[in-house]
Amino acid sequence: MNNTKKILSKQRRQKKLKSEVKRIKKKLPRFVVWFLFFFFVSLYFFNDKFFLFFGNSVNAIIATVIILSLFLLFYILRSLILIKNKQRESKEIGFELYNLMKLESEVKNE
């Protein structure tokens, strides 16, 4: 009975991890699109301020593209590392579940 509770709790945890990974993967492209949209809108509306701060439009565009690239790179890397960690944890839980179920079936066979 105790093994059954362990198995059920581990299955719930594994299912939760898999759904979190799926949610993060689904959310990542949306974030990139919205971030690009925000970038172009802010560039359009704040062009005068960028011109005063950077001196000309080319420098402003280059600076904002670099900043945008850094933020996107950081977010994508963070998301990929998070996904990798959750998948690794889910896989470890799968191995634990396999061992628990294997032990349970061996006990029943004896």
**What pLDDT was estimated at residue 40?**
80
6's tokens:
């362990």
- The pair phi, psi for residue 56, each rounded to 5°, is -150, 170
Domain that holds residue 13: 2-109
**What pLDDT was estimated at residue 45?**
81
18's tokens:
């898999």
Collapsing DSSP states into helix, strand and coil, what is residue 75? helix
23's tokens:
């949610």
Largest CA distance in the chain: 82
- The pair phi, psi for residue 54, each rounded to 5°, is -100, -20
Q: What domain count does the chain have?
A: 1
**What pLDDT was estimated at residue 49?**
76
CA-closest candidate to residue 14, choices 101, 96, 84, 104: 96
For the chain, 110 residues long, give each residue's pLDDT as a single digit of tens.
Answer: 577 888 889 899 999 999 999 999 999 889 888 888 888 888 778 777 777 777 777 777 787 788 888 988 999 999 999 999 999 999 999 998 888 887 666 666 65
